[in-house]
Amino acid sequence: MNWIRSSLLLAGVWCCGLTPSANAETKLPKVFSSHMVLQRDREIPVWGWDTPGTDVTVTLGDSSVSTKADDKGKWSVKLPARKVGTPLTLTAKGTSTVKFDDVLMGEVWLCSGQSNMEWTVNISNYASSEIAMGNHPRIRHIKIPHNPQDKPQDDVNTSGWETCTPKTVGNFTAVGYYFALTIQKELDVPVGLIGSNWGGTRIEPWTTPEGFKGVPALKDIADNLEKFPSKNDKGQINHQTPLALYNGMIAPVAPYAIRGALWYQGESNNGEGMLYFEKKKALIEGWRKLWNDNDMPFLFVQLAPYDYTGNPTSTSGLPYIWEAQTATLKIPNTGMAVTTDISALKDIHPRNKQDVGKRLALWALANTYGKTGFLYSGPLYKSMTKEGDSIKISFDHVGNGLISRDGKPLNHFTIAGTDKKFVPATAQIRGKEVIVKAQGVSDPVAVRFGWHEEAEPNLANTDALPASPFRTDDWK
């Protein structure tokens, strides 16, 4: 619990109008350390504290920038952009000198969300062999401790950046790690992962005040931000309240330069339907403003099928969360990894994190890094056309065609007529489209696919990427 006491002490120091420079030495936030990865090809923000009025010079390789600590002891600089190269030393010299060694330029991604993002390599599939092969010195990881706060913090008590070795990789975020493996293989660059995640958390505590204010549908939260988060009579903060984890686990990281964000969350917001889309919009737009990057890539994982209800004849609100997640693709520079084929219906934590990370990497390679010649998404519903007693479904991201990934007839399609009663349907691939029909439904008007929390449908494209669940109707 020492890190909690340290965080509270730091917050108390700031509330009293003092700064961490009270000890008359040069300090940087702990997101900077030896072995870190700095974002290549863009300006590099570096900041910290010192005695007010002190001249501070920051040096990275052959680049050097000077500034002066302000009247509160805060200073910041922006170093010029650099390409990937040999390891560097970062030095900040003011009242004292701070030096970080083995600094690499590369691609930096924030890995956030709840337990499926926090899930580590050592409890994922093939852990022993993956750890034994985990000697990748150009992949680095830093874990941000759980730290709910009632005000934005300037620092966190992390132990710093770790280089990927068989001794360290077991504790890396598994999704982030397998994403990094694919990115590094294709781009031949170092990759840095900032693991700021917490199992069981809702989306609201990760969201910035500006994010809430920018989404009219969340006015009830935006109009009451001064009430969030608040301490109870024991001085404890409910980490599930709006702003709590932004304050303690995101604010201290910004504006550390990153390429984009990976997000795996939603289980704790199940049941909210399209309201979850509004909350994701707030999260994304808020983070983009925080990092002053309106085009910052935001790649996320669509939740896997899971038996939330324990009753095979009923379903939870999961299909409507899938719908909200798919709708998020309307926001520019977003991407979604579909996981309907790699689930574990009785385990909310599917152990196959390899394919999850790879699928996120496909979106990044195609849309962030401009690579071509491959499919980066499974089929996504585009349109429907009525053909007599059938409905023809068209998709985006079909590539060379559609397949049944297990060679069996397509499953988990239902169809309804004007009575709005869905019944099981047969579905056949015709070229790059699917024809859906059912006996007894002569005048069909709507189709649903995979519309059940336990559905693991077999429709995919020729790259074996699964189709996302969808519905053509908007019925309540």
Task: Find where tokens 């922006």 sit.
Answer: 78
Nearest to 173 by CA among 201, 197, 137: 197
Q: List, in sequence order, every residue forming a beta bridge with 267; answer none if it has no partner.
A: none
pLDDT value of residue 15: 38
Residue pair 77/143 in contact by the 8 Å Cβ criterion: no
Q: Could you state, in order of their start, the residue ranges of all structural domains in the chain? A: 162-368, 382-471
Q: How far apart are CA 396 and CA 408, in angstroms?
A: 22
Q: Which residues in the chain come in under a pLDDT of 50?
A: 1-21
- Residues 417, 444 contacting (CB under 8 angstroms): yes
The CA distance from 260 to 25, in Å, is: 33
Q: Say if strands 260-264 and 298-301 run parallel, antiparallel, or are unpaired.
A: parallel
Question: Could you give the angle at the alpha carbon of 59 between the alpha carbons of 56 and 64, nearest 5°?
Answer: 85
- How many residues are present in the chain? 476
- For the chain, give the longest Cα–Cα distance: 82
Distance between the two ends of the chain, CA-based, in angstroms? 47
Element (H, E) at 326: helix 318-327
Dihedrals phi, psi of 185, to nearest 5 degrees: -60, -40
Per-residue burial over 15-39, b if 16 or more Cβ lie within 10 Å, else e, is eeeebbbeeebbbbbbbbbebbbbb
Residue 391's CB: how many other CB atoms inside 10 A?
25
What would the pLDDT profile of 96-124 be if each residue is shown by its tens digit?
999 999 999 999 999 999 999 999 999 99
**Interval 441-465: pLDDT, tens:** 999 999 999 999 999 999 999 999 9
Q: Which CATH number fits domain 162-368: 3.40.50.970, 3.40.50.12780, 3.40.50.1110, 2.30.30.60?
A: 3.40.50.1110
Give the pLDDT confidence score for residue 310 in this predicted structure: 85
Closest CA to 360 of 344, 376, 346: 376
Phi-psi region of 22 (alpha: psi -120 to 50; beta: other; left: phi over 0): alpha
The answer to whether 150 and 237 have CB atoms below 8 angstroms apart is yes
Burial class (CB in 10 A: 0-12, 13-18, 19+), 443: exposed
Radius of gyration of the chain (CA): 24
Displacement of CA 349 from its chain's centroid (Å):
16
- Rounded CA separation 253/230 (Å): 22
Q: Contact at 8 Å (CB) between 263 and 311? A: no
Residue with tokens 């889309």: 277
